[in-house]
Structure 1
């Protein structure tokens, strides 16, 4: 039998994590999901539709539940988010710039800045966050809610994937 290749190993980890998620009691599954998206309704809905045959099926259900968030659900999820802090080794000027940008964003929109950084190399993340804040500060409140909701869905997908793989 040939040795497992990385893609097969990742698939095996996802399957093991998915089996655990599917078998978890409802309350535990919801708590697990709340770590991915802070909307209680979203977590209840995704947990209620178990078992999921594949990670892709779980992610599709998470997306669908994310698109159905009410204003109150989105507010709850955004209230549970915290802005990412720069790496401690980031230059002081960069930490200051990020702190000021995050404060301006939160003052304008009333919630933490959310952005998915999947696929962005670690060395480029601070610049990506700063550029995202700068570009989104010009949004109208409702336009920004739409953007933030999409970023929250993307974050939930990546958190779910990591959570299932690491469970």
Structure 2
């Protein structure tokens, strides 16, 4: 039985959603190479490595191999995964591209997974969250990283903004009890789901008109 780290309960930090402003996620959307476990650095939220600008699926299909791979690496930092997905262009639909990304995600080798996880960072709550919530979540992430040697990753796709903090804390509490190999399986699945969600977001964002002015 693995020793689990006690994690103090965190006060809820519900706040209204502002129209037109994307809710920050409580998981990694920022790739930072070689981040040391237990680091107290606070990554920007919702800062993301967006990669090169491409215009939706057509732009992705027509992009140079380097640009396509750079965009994919901003979703999952495994070079072999990015090369494999980029090499199968052109894709007839976004769904076909996402399915290919999923398939490649299932085939990550141990080294591929280590490479991808090393580039992840655990994000913190929105700056408006109570200080106690920020402190407790930072401690929870540090406990996880101390146990497993990489950032905690979890996909919050479909989780309502007001429930994300609780979801992350529940996930950390639950997964701290996993054996290392068991947790690698869970982390790999969450990373695959994150990569899919990030890729869908990147393609959709590229098609969203940008308006200037108020």
* TM-score, with length taken from structure 1: 0.89
- Paired with 1:100 and 1:120, the residues of 2 have a C-alpha distance of 23
Does residue 132 of structure 2 align to residue 85 of structure 1?
no
1:139 equivalenced with 2:139 (yes/no): no
Name the residue aligned to 1:125: 164
Structure having the higher helix fraction is 1
Q: Distance in 1 between matches of 2:151 and 2:99?
A: 25
Counterpart position of 1:23: 62
Q: Per the alignment, in what secondary structure is the counterpart of residue 50 of structure 1?
A: coil
**Which residue in 1 is equivalent to 2:205?**
166
Q: Secondary structure at the match of 1:84?
A: coil
Q: Distance in 1 between matches of 2:180 and 2:113?
A: 14
Structure 2, gaps ≥5 residues long: 1-54, 207-214
Deviation sequence 1:111-155 (CA, Å, 0-9, x none): 000000011111111111111000000000000000000000000
SS at match of 1:145: helix
RMSD: 0.7
- Counterparts of 2:91 and 2:67, CA distance in 1: 16
Unaligned runs of 5+ in 1: 1-15
Structure 2 matches for 1:108-119, cutoff 5 A?
108-119=147-158
* Number of equivalences: 152
Task: Please list every run of at least 4 consecutive aligned residues from structure 1 whose deviation after the TM superposition is greater than 3 angstroms.
Answer: none
Alpha-carbon distance between aligned partners in 2 of 1:126 and 1:92, rounded to the nearest angstrom? 13
Q: Secondary structure at the match of 1:159?
A: helix
Provide the TM-score with structure 2 as the length reference.
0.70
